Amino acid sequence: MNAGGFWHLLPNASTNAKPLDELWWAMVGLCALVAIGVFVVMFVFCIRYRKGRPADRHLAKDTLPVELTWTAVPFLIFMGVFVWSLTLYARSRTPPANAETIYVVAKQWMWKIQHPGGQREINTLHVPTGVPIRLMMTSQDVIHSFFVPAFRVKQDVLPGRYTQLWFTAIEPGDYPLYCTQYCGLDHSKMGGQVIVMRPRAYARWLDENNTGTSLAAQGAALFRAKGCSGCHGANASVHAPDLDGIYGRIVHLSDGSTVAADDRYIHDSIMLPDKQIVAGYAPIMPSFSGELTESQVLAIIAYLKSTKPGAQPAHEGTKQ
Amino acid sequence: MNATVITPDLPELEPPRSFYTYKSGLGSWLLTTDHKRIAILYAVTITLFFIMGGVAAAMMRINLVEPQGALLSAETYNKTFTFHGVVMVWFFLIPSIPATLGNFLLPIMIGARDLAFPRLNLMSWYLFVIGGCFTIACLLLGGVDTGWTFYTPFSTMFSNTNVILVAVGVFVTGFSTILTGLNFIVTTHKLRMPGMTWFKLPLFVWGMYAVSLVMVLATPVLAMTLSLIGLERIAQVGIFDPALGGDPLLFQHMFWFYSHPAVYIMILPAMGVASEIIPCFARRKIFGYEFMVYALVGISVIGFLVWGHHMFVAGMSPTATLVFSILSFAIAVPSAIKVFNWTATLRRGRITFEAPMLYALGFVGLFMIGGMSGLMLAAPALDIPLHATYFVIAHFHYVMVGGTVMAYLGGIHYWWPKITGRLYSEAWARFAAILMFFGFNFTFFPQYVLGYLGMPRRYHAYPPQFQTLNILSSAGASILALAYLIPVVYLGWSLFRGARAGNNPWGARGLEWQTTSPPPKQNFLERPVVQKAYAYDEPSPDGQPASGATA
Ligand code: HEM
Ligand SMILES: [Cu+2]
């Protein structure tokens, strides 16, 4: 029997963890208070008014004020907790502007991680302390869920969508990572660890694992190899939109609507090109679903992000 | 007060033969249209399903004694929890109280001779059995590994198991739920005896009425969802699968649009049962009857609007999160009202602690703990770490097993003398109720802690630091299993050897206690007398003394 486990409390390893724990313990306290309160009252009534015991058993006539009170009071308390919870939730949804993006692709049954500098790892995520990290995640097959208890973060990872999650680690160490959305046979093995390092050590780790090709450069290579540049390149003969600096731009669609060119839009334009047609262009682009993996699409998005309108960047060999 | 006396048009007095004996032979049961006999048929079938689901639970708990999995392969474990979930939800919890106690008692409690559509009632049972046998056969022959939630695209594109066949079984069973609901609604509207006004209805009848509305409105969505899964698997139409342009979240919205109201299908009847038992053994009219009715109706209405709280980390928009969260907090208010009212009903009563009362008090306690933990899950910030961990497993077992199953057993014990005409061993029954309460907490409380520490659900194997708590939970489960077995023995014994019960062994109010035990085929031999619900402070029509106001 494993002894150590029982009282091992959850470490507070991210900036997110402490405020959440405060809310957690407050709610545990509140619930315990109410529950114990009701239990004590029930118990006292059961003793005092059990059959055969002399007691005053006259019933009050007007109970409405009591009932209104115990309807209103819990309601107000609940709303208080709701507001508290909501502020924390809002914070968990908005990564700071300076957050570093790391890409995660889930598949049955592993986590594939790509750092912007081109470093790749599986089932392990290295991050520095003190830097807000934003994970941009997608799945190659079914729904998974990225969960690091020590950081109190969790987010489902869906095929065909990008979901994100952010945290700032504060304590160096190894923390377990789990998949919490049931995803088939080896769901319970789909875990790993997050290794939190001091920034200096992290920089060293990045260097040691440097492949010489940043994610954007990999994307640029793919952009050419897979034939994207044949249509979208500067001297292409096909009438296709120019993609330099596309990221974040507002795009007008043929159905009259507009959409911001975010990760999801770019992903869908590659995998499901018929879904949204850019105004003024014929729907001739072939679908690359089956042709490109989700990791490759992420690399291409990283490349498009790095381009500037009109310029021709070639990040060959550069490291971010 | 105004004890209304009226004359229902009963036929000339027949000899007082009970509904068991007026006709015999297997055929007379399988072709019966008597709501009481159909209730018995349901009771027998869902008990079998409960046992199957329970065996699966035992296998899982044994497996989880060791971190690497002590008993089952990953594949078998996945099929086992799917089996457990599917059977417990669709073939035990949803039909449990409505189809057995509701079927038996609803007509009697409103002074009717049967449900509005007796043949439809029989057909509902057949649909239930056909769907049940079919599903169980599929689950046993090969099994399904999707979990009872059938999340896409796993269920549509990746699972190699018999998803469609199981879905068809559940689909068929859904019709039985819808028909039962319709039958109850029409019965409550049309067949109340003269003088039985809406605000004289027992809360159990209100519970049945509210749950029927939910059944009729929610279950069709389940049928649609299951059909779409089938379509997607066969024809790859691209509704849920993103590779085909579909939306995986759409499935979750549809699924929970049914399945959240479904948890109210499980709990509203349980609340109705508790509202009968507690006043009876406190000898006191229920506190705040009107508020109790409004709370029931409120829960069933708001219950339709909170499904999104299952999806806070699924990738839903923040606005939707906000709305679903606030509504989920709102629904806690009527639930809290009910707990307070049950407690207040004890005040100034003359309380005795027969087995049904112990079950009912246990129900209130466990339901409250389960409900409180639900409040934590309704707060999106806390739901982020807790979602899909053992915290959720503990939460819904507290509500569904601690709540619904305790109330169901309480109801069985309370109405047992009426249904069978026999008494059971009171001492054993009390012992089982108390053992069950402890076994339950022992099993499921450690799971709250496991969830907080981060153990995900649906894990066949887990990291070693979670072992101690898992062992505790499994140890509790064996106590709980024992506590479930004891009633089988003494209730079985009572069927053949139990003392005769008399018509009203608890001195309870309500029309069902004014007829013989077991009731005759046509429910009443003499005209019953309608009183206000829970008239424990008025003399009863059968000569029981009033027991309210004096010291
Ligand atoms: C002795 C009593 C019980 C024990 C020990 C038990 C144990 C378990 C376990 C170990 C799981 C799987 C957790 C996981 O791996 O995610 C589970 C899931 C579940 N249980 Fe129970 N259970 C019991 C009784 C019940 C009852 C009586 C019901 C309903 C009436 C029920 C309904 C469910 C449901 C709906 C699930 C979810 C299945 C899923 O994840 O797909 N359980 N239970
Ligand atoms: Cu997974």
- Residue B307 makes CB contacts below 8 A (sequence gap 6+) with B253, B256, B257, B259, B260, B261, B324
Burial (CB count <10 Å: 0-12, 13-18, 19+), residue A99: middle
Q: Which of B81, B244, B340 to mutate to test the interface with A (most CBs of A within 10 A)?
A: B340
Mean pLDDT of chain B: 90
Under an 8 A CB cutoff, do B321 and A89 touch? yes
Minimal C-alpha gap between B447 and chain A (Å): 12
CA of B411 to the centre of ligand 1 (A): 22
Q: Which ligand is nearest to the CA of A144?
A: 2
State the Cα–Cα distance between residues B46 and A104, nearest whole angstrom: 46
Contact A54, B551 (CB under 8 A): yes
Instruction: Look at residue B271 and tell me whether its pLDDT is greater than 80.
Output: yes
- Residue A245 makes CB contacts below 8 A (sequence gap 6+) with A307, A308, A309, A310, A311
Minimal C-alpha gap between B418 and chain A (Å): 24
Q: Which amino acid is at B297?
A: V
For CA atoms A198, A203, A206, A208, give the dihedral sign: negative
The CA radius of gyration of chain A, in Å to the nearest whole number, is 27
Confidence band for A313, pLDDT divided at 50, 70 and 90: very low
Contacts of B145 in chain A (CB under 8 A): 184-185
| CA nearest to B277, candidates B73, B474, B534, B75 | B534
Contacts of A92 in chain B (CB under 8 A): 381, 384
- Residue B197 CA to its chain's centroid (Å): 26
Place of tokens 């120019």: A242
State the Cα–Cα distance between residues A87 and A90, nearest whole angstrom: 5
**Range with lowest mean pLDDT among A227-231, B111-115, B352-356:** A227-231
| CA nearest to B375, candidates B326, B424, B416 | B326
Residue nearest to atom 26 of ligand 1 (CA): B401
Predicted pLDDT of residue A77: 86
Under an 8 A CB cutoff, do A59 and B549 touch? yes
Helix (H) or strand (E) holding B358, with range, is helix B355-378
State the Cα–Cα distance between residues A37 and B500, nearest whole angstrom: 41
Q: Which ligand is nearest to the CA of B458?
A: 1
Partner residues linked to A259 by β-bridges: A251
| CA B66 vs CA A8, A222, B78, B465, B474: distances in Å | 18, 47, 16, 11, 10
Contact B409, B470 (CB under 8 A): no
Q: Which residues line ligand 1 (CB under 6 A)?
A: B 54, 57, 60-61, 81-82, 84-85, 88-89, 92-93, 147-148, 393, 397, 400-401, 405, 443, 457-459, 477, 480-481
**Token pair in block for residue A93:** 């949804």
Partner residues linked to B457 by β-bridges: none
| CA nearest to A28, candidates B67, B373, B203, B127 | B373
Q: Which residue is closest to A155 within chain B, CA to CA?
A: B313
CA of B88 to the centre of ligand 1 (A): 8
Q: Which residue is closest to A274 within chain B, CA to CA?
A: B245
Q: Which amino acid is at B127?
A: L
3-state secondary structure of B126: helix
For CA atoms B162, B155, B222, B311, give the dihedral sign: positive
User: Would you call A5 an interface residue with chain B, using a CB distance cutoff of 8 Å?
Assistant: yes
| CA nearest to B533, candidates B275, B338, B353 | B275
Under an 8 A CB cutoff, do A5 and B248 touch? no
Report the atom number in ligand 1 closest to the C-alpha of B86: 35
Contacts of B158 in chain A (CB under 8 A): 108, 141-142, 184
Q: Which of B343, B465, B469 sits opposite A41 (nearest CB)?
A: B343
Mean pLDDT of chain A: 86
Partner residues linked to A124 by β-bridges: A193
Place of tokens 């529950």: A35
| CA nearest to B442, candidates B483, B414, B413, B477 | B477
Residue nearest to atom 14 of ligand 1 (CA): B458
Contact B341, B288 (CB under 8 A): yes
Place of tokens 């690359």: A288
Q: Which ligand is nearest to the CA of B267?
A: 1
Taking residues B250-275, what's their average pLDDT? 93
Taking residues A221-248, what's their average pLDDT? 82
Give the dihedral of Cα atoms A295, A300, A305, A308; nearest 10 deg. 170
Taking residues B59-85, what's their average pLDDT? 94
| CA B421 vs CA A300, B31, B97, B108: distances in Å | 76, 23, 20, 15
Give the dihedral of Cα atoms A165, A171, A174, A177; nearest 10 deg. -20
Question: Which of B50, B59, B393 to mutate for ligand 1's pocket (most ligand atoms within 8 Å of CB)?
Answer: B393
Contacts of B456 in chain A (CB under 8 A): 147, 178-180, 188
A258 CB neighbour count, 10 Å cutoff = 9
Minimal C-alpha gap between A94 and chain B (Å): 10
**Token pair in block for residue B217:** 């409105």
- Residue B350 makes CB contacts below 8 A (sequence gap 6+) with A49, A50, A51, A52, A57, B282, B283, B284, B547
Phi-psi region of B348 (alpha: psi -120 to 50; beta: other; left: phi over 0): left
For CA atoms B318, B321, B325, B331, give the dihedral sign: positive
Predicted pLDDT of residue B133: 93
State the Cα–Cα distance between residues B509 and B285, nearest whole angstrom: 10
Instruction: Look at residue B82 and tell me whether its pLDDT is greater than 50.
Output: yes
Confidence band for B542, pLDDT divided at 50, 70 and 90: low
Q: Which of B329, B377, B474 to mutate to test the interface with A (most CBs of A within 10 A)?
A: B329
Predicted pLDDT of residue B549: 38
Q: Model confidence over A156-207: pLDDT tens digits?
A: 999 988 999 999 999 999 999 999 999 999 999 999 999 999 999 999 999 9
Q: Model confidence over B160-218: pLDDT tens digits?
A: 888 889 999 999 999 999 999 999 999 999 999 999 999 999 999 999 999 999 999 99
| CA nearest to B448, candidates B370, B379, B378 | B370
Contacts of B353 in chain A (CB under 8 A): 46, 50
Contacts of A182 in chain B (CB under 8 A): 78, 147, 149, 151, 154, 457-458
Predicted pLDDT of residue A9: 72
**Token pair in block for residue B229:** 């899964």
Q: What is the maximum alpha-carbon separation in chain A?
A: 100
Give the dihedral of Cα atoms B412, B416, B418, B419; nearest 10 deg. 80
CA of A178 to the centre of ligand 2 (A): 8
Instruction: Look at residue A301 and tell me whether its pLDDT is greater than 80.
Output: yes
Q: Tell me the percentage of chain B whose pLDDT exceeds 70.
A: 95
| CA nearest to A13, candidates A146, A128, A91 | A128
Q: Which of A8, A39, A147 sits opposite B456 (nearest CB)?
A: A147
Under an 8 A CB cutoff, do B550 and A178 touch? no
For CA atoms B535, B539, B542, B545, give the dihedral sign: positive
3-state secondary structure of B18: strand
Under an 8 A CB cutoff, do B318 and A75 touch? no
Minimal C-alpha gap between B258 and chain A (Å): 20
Q: Which residue is closest to A149 within chain B, CA to CA?
A: B454
The number of CA neighbours under 13 Å toward the Cβ of A312 is: 6
Under an 8 A CB cutoff, do A154 and B313 touch? yes
Q: Which residue is closest to B343 within chain A, CA to CA?
A: A42
Confidence band for B3, pLDDT divided at 50, 70 and 90: very low
Contact B258, B222 (CB under 8 A): yes
State the Cα–Cα distance between residues A282 and A280, nearest whole angstrom: 7
Report the atom number in ligand 1 closest to the C-alpha of B266: 30
Q: Which of A50, A57, A62 to mutate to test the interface with B (most CBs of B within 10 A)?
A: A57
User: Would you call A236 an interface residue with chain B, using a CB distance cutoff of 8 Å?
Assistant: no
Predicted pLDDT of residue B544: 63
Q: Model confidence over B450-494: pLDDT tens digits?
A: 999 999 999 999 999 999 999 999 999 999 999 999 999 999 999
Q: Which of A49, A107, A274, A275 to mutate to test the interface with B (most CBs of B within 10 A)?
A: A49
- Residue B21 makes CB contacts below 8 A (sequence gap 6+) with none
B237 CB neighbour count, 10 Å cutoff = 15
Rounded to two decimals, the ipTM of the complex is: 0.88
Under an 8 A CB cutoff, do A81 and B388 touch? no
- Residue A45 makes CB contacts below 8 A (sequence gap 6+) with B343, B346, B347, B349, B351
Predicted pLDDT of residue B448: 96
Taking residues B307-336, what's their average pLDDT? 89
Predicted pLDDT of residue B9: 56
Residue nearest to atom 30 of ligand 1 (CA): B88
Predicted pLDDT of residue A139: 93
If DSSP states are collapsed to H, E and C, what string results for chain A? CCCCCCCCCCCCCECCHHHHHHHHHHHHHHHHHHHHHHHHHHHHHHHHCECCCCCCCCCCCCCHHHHHHHHHHHHHHHHHHHHHHHHHHHHHHCCCCCCEEEEEEEECCEEEEECCCCCEEECEEEEECCCEEEEEEEECCCCEEEEEHHHCEEEEECECCCEEEEEEECCCEEEEEEECCCCCCCHHHCCEEEEEECHHHHHHHHHHCCCCCCHHHHHHHHHHHCCHHHHHCCCCCCCCCCCCCCCCCEEEECCCCEEECCHHHHHHHHHCCCCCCECCCCCCCCCCECCECHHHHHHHHHHHHHCCCCCCCCCCCCCC
**Range with lowest mean pLDDT among A37-41, A273-277, B342-346, B389-393:** A273-277
**Range with lowest mean pLDDT among A171-180, B11-20, B267-276, B500-509:** B11-20
Contacts of B344 in chain A (CB under 8 A): 63, 66
CA of B445 to the centre of ligand 1 (A): 14
Phi, psi of A82 (to 5 degrees): -60, -45
B376 CB neighbour count, 10 Å cutoff = 23
Place of tokens 């100034």: B348
